[in-house]
């Protein structure tokens, strides 16, 4: 790569009519991220500053979805072609001198090393324009690269190509390196004299050659990474390729995936070595998983941090939760946002938590809801326990101190505090604070009527 400054422009203004969707095309997700996030993050990784995204259709939605990506936005009110789209970024780059990397918002699979090679080649060739190309067995629909050795003479769009030009297999990917401010000067001379009636960015190449400037092309090593997404079939294909890339990297780093083809891991997820992941697992967002975890089939984890040796049993769902070492969850447990487990905790089948903290070793083995609660260490919560945290207007907290034993079918009507070392009898409804080392009961006294069954035994019918 050369020593010049680098800026990036990402074209993301198109409607994407073939998606047949109210959602802007570039917001459709590939492996958990809007497809437009990929070129933005690629530009950032390459050191681009600034990065400008040209938006049009659904501009407000695109700007909102990518607000945290550190990108500037330029609006293309009318889609008049790729040349016009780049011109829309001119104001944002008015004072920029250096290399402009042009990326496409619907090309999410492009690798950083490929673009770094493009920029390096562009710099060493001292080119005004360098286009990234690809070779396809069936290039129908793409602009063809017309070469003279290393030099590019022009790019011909499909509708403007002759029969001989349509036979060319090398195509334009829509990814370029341009020198600025020259590219904006050249765009002033671009016209709409073509079959589409649009301002073609490709015309800049011919203008650069006419000005005696060097125009080059570099072929991507893999055609698949330059895949553009125009419909749902291509969206699914891109998603599969991205997941394959993510899964291969994780397996090389020491993670076992029982069936990679049915394991769905977002690009931001981090996983420690010796973790084993079964089929049908979805790991989403900014999830971090430590070493030696076991994740069984059908588990869904979103934006969670899991320490070492965690065991997530089948069908469990975790969201925005933090788990310490050695926790066992499920099967079929649901940890909602705000759940924090200190370590060596067990939350069993059909246990649900929300905004609840558990101290070391505390457990709730089955059929329990703990919400808006603080649970100490060494607490055992029996089957069917509920924290009644909502009174219809406000949420209230339940505090259960260390070493409490909670009998089955207990209701804690918050706000309430259970003192250290207490025992709550099964079937109790606790509405008042319980002092430490106490037994709390709220059942009615059991009554036994001797002989009742004999006195009410039905008489036998005569045959």
Q: Is 396 considered catalytic here?
A: no
**Rounded Cα gap, residues 389 and 370, in angstroms:** 9
Catalytic residue among 282, 334, 366, 456: 366
Other beta carbons within 10 angstroms of residue 439's beta carbon come to 11
Which residues are documented as binding site for Mg(2+)? Answer: 106, 230
Omega prior to 181 cis, within 30 of 0: yes
Enumerate the known binding-site residues: 11-14, 25, 76, 81-82, 106, 143, 157, 172, 230, 336, 354, 369, 380, 389-390, 408, 426, 443
Task: Round the CA-based radius of gyration of the chain to a whole number and report it.
Answer: 31
Give the number of residues written for the chain: 463
Residues 419, 434 contacting (CB under 8 angstroms): yes
Output the known binding site for UDP-N-acetyl-alpha-D-glucosamine: 11-14, 25, 76, 81-82, 143, 157, 172, 230, 336, 354, 369, 380
Which pairs count as long-range contacts for 259-268, CB under 8 Å and 24+ apart, including other chains?
A: 264/31, 265/31, 266/31, 266/32, 266/33, 267/31, 267/32, 267/33, 267/242, 268/32, 268/33
The residues, any chain, with a CB within 8 Å of residue 25's CB and separated by 6 or more, are 14, 15, 16, 19, 35, 57, 105, 106, 229, 230
* Torsion-angle region of 267 (φ positive above 0: left; ψ -120 to 50: alpha; else: beta): alpha
What is the rounded CA–CA span in Å between residue 13 and residue 26?
A: 9
Instruction: Give yes or no for a contact between 313 and 294, defined as CB atoms under 8 angstroms apart.
Output: no
DSSP letters along 227-241, please?
----SHHHHHHHHHH
Tokens of 212: 């005696």
Binding site per annotation, positions for acetyl-CoA: 389-390, 408, 426, 443
Number of helices (H) and strands (E), helices first, in the chain?
9, 37
**To which residue do tokens 């005004």 refer?**
128
SS3 69: coil
Instruction: Name the 3-class secondary structure at 281.
Output: coil
Please give the Cα distance from 107 to 284 (Å, whole number). Answer: 21
Tokens of 227: 């895949």
Identify which of 243, 171, 210, 194 has the alpha carbon closest to the alpha carbon of residue 84. 194
For 376-438, where are the E strands, in sequence order? 380-381, 386-388, 398-400, 405-406, 411-413, 416-418, 423-424, 429-430
CA distance 384 to 282: 29
Annotated catalytic residues are 366
């Amino acid at each position: 790569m050369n020593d010049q400054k680098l800026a990036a422009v990402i074209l993301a203004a198109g409607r994407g009519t073939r998606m047949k969707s109210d959602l802007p095309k570039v917001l459709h997700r590939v492996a958990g991220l809007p497809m437009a996030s990929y070129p933005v993050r690629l530009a950032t990784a390459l050191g681009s500053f600034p990065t400008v995204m040209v938006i049009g259709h659904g501009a407000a939605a695109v700007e909102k979805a990518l607000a945290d990506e550190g990108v500037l936005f330029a609006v293309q009110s009318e889609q008049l072609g790729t040349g016009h789209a780049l011109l829309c970024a001119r104001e944002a780059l008015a004072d920029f001198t250096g290399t402009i990397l042009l990326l496409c918002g619907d090309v999410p699979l492009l690798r950083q090393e490929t673009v770094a090679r493009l920029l390096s080649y562009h710099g060493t060739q001292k080119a005004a324009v360098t286009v990234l190309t690809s070779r396809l067995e069936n290039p129908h629909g793409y602009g063809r690269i017309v070469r003279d050795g290393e030099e590019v003479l022009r790019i011909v769009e499909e509708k403007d190509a002759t029969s001989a030009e349509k036979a060319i297999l090398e195509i334009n990917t829509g990814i370029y390196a341009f020198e600025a401010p020259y590219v904006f000067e050249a765009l002033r001379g671009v016209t709409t004299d073509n079959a589409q009636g649009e301002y073609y960015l490709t015309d800049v190449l011919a203008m650069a050659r006419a000005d005696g400037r060097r125009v080059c092309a570099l072929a991507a090593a893999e055609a698949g990474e330059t895949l553009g997404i125009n419909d749902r079939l291509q969206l699914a294909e891109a998603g599969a390729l991205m997941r394959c890339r993510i899964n291969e990297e994780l397996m090389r780093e020491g993670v076992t995936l029982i069936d990679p083809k049915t394991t769905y891991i977002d690009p931001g997820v981090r996983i420690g070595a010796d973790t084993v992941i079964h089929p049908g697992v979805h790991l989403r967002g900014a999830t971090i998983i430590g070493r030696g975890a076991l994740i069984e089939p059908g588990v869904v984890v979103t934006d969670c941090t899991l320490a070492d040796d965690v065991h997530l049993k089948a069908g469990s769902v975790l969201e925005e939760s933090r788990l310490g070492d050695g926790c066992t969850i499920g099967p079929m447990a649901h940890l909602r946002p705000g759940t924090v487990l200190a370590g060596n905790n067990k939350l069993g089948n059909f246990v649900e938590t929300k905004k609840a903290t558990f101290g070391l070793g505390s457990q709730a083995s089955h059929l329990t809801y703990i919400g808006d609660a603080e649970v100490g260490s060494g607490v055992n919560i029996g089957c069917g326990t509920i924290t009644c945290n909502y009174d219809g207007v406000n949420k209230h907290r339940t505090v259960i101190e260390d070493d409490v034993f909670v009998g089955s079918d207990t209701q804690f009507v918050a706000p309430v505090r259970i003192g250290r070392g207490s025992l709550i009898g099964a079937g109790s409804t606790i509405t008042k604070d319980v002092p430490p080392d106490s037994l709390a009961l709220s059942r009615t006294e059991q009554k036994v009527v001797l002989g009742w069954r004999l006195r009410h035994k039905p008489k036998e019918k005569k045959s």
